[in-house]
Amino acid sequence: MVAVEKGGRKLGGIFAALPTAFGHDGALDPEALRRLIASLMSRGVEGFYVGGSTGECFLLSERERMESLETVLKAVGGKVPVVAHVGSLSTKSAIELARHAAQAGVAAVSATPPLYFSYELDEIASYYQDIVQSCGLPLLVYNIPAFSGRNFGIQGLTRLLNIPGVLGLKHTSMNLHEMERIRAAFPAKVIFSGYDEIFVAATALGADGMIGSTVNLMPELFIAMRTQIREGNIAEAQKIQHIVNSIIEGLADGSFFPALKYALDLSGFSCGACRKPFQPLSEQRKTAIAARLVEYGLIK
């Protein structure tokens, strides 16, 4: 079971981890999301990851997650692949989201491990197996130890990647040794890097692509990095990575996701505020973010 793009190419490339757009009333804002997607596609983004951490997934109802996915798929119109994050606290909920995603027409699904309870690895493996069997789609394991509290290690990831129907890994971890070992052990699996800050290093170690939050803000820089890597200009790619990381540091000096949404607002793509318990940014933070974006030429 392999997800492929048109023309038979293996799933990969530069994907934007989309935010969820909210209006002033706190409801979903489909038009704002469509505008952002149209811009990103025109600027070379090669796919979208919907309903993940950047999308505030666990702050949305199941119905909202489904509606947001439907908006994205209609906006994309089959031109690039879409991966739906269906991770949930319960297997039942994850299955419902996965079945909806399959019917809606995504290329693959993805899921964080189930959260809160200290599940055994066998229980987590069963959760992923149940999702795959329920929807018939390939699945990317979403490895994000900093948020999930679960560090699988190489042995744990090996167990999960051997589940029939598991396409590969969204590796949102700074542990590149772990990623390289998985790459070597599973040459046919798809590996997406999930941390924008290490795009050059992850690509050099064999990642098939990236799924990034700040791709929404500066896709051109990630495309430029990949071009330089492909042409063998690693030093030039490193220079661009330095710029990207300096911008990210400006956003991450506090709560990252509200800062990203504010940066998008300044760039002309308002997606509303993050839902509570996220708090609004202070005026001091807003000023600092704006200054960083001006410094690096993302806004005037």
Q: Give the residue numbers annotated as catalytic, written as ranges.
A: 142, 170
Q: Are 204 and 223 in contact (CB under 8 A)?
A: no
**In the numeric block, which tokens belong to residue 277?**
């318990």
Closest CA to 118 of 96, 157, 151: 151
Taken in order 201, 206, 212, 214, the sign of the CA dihedral is positive
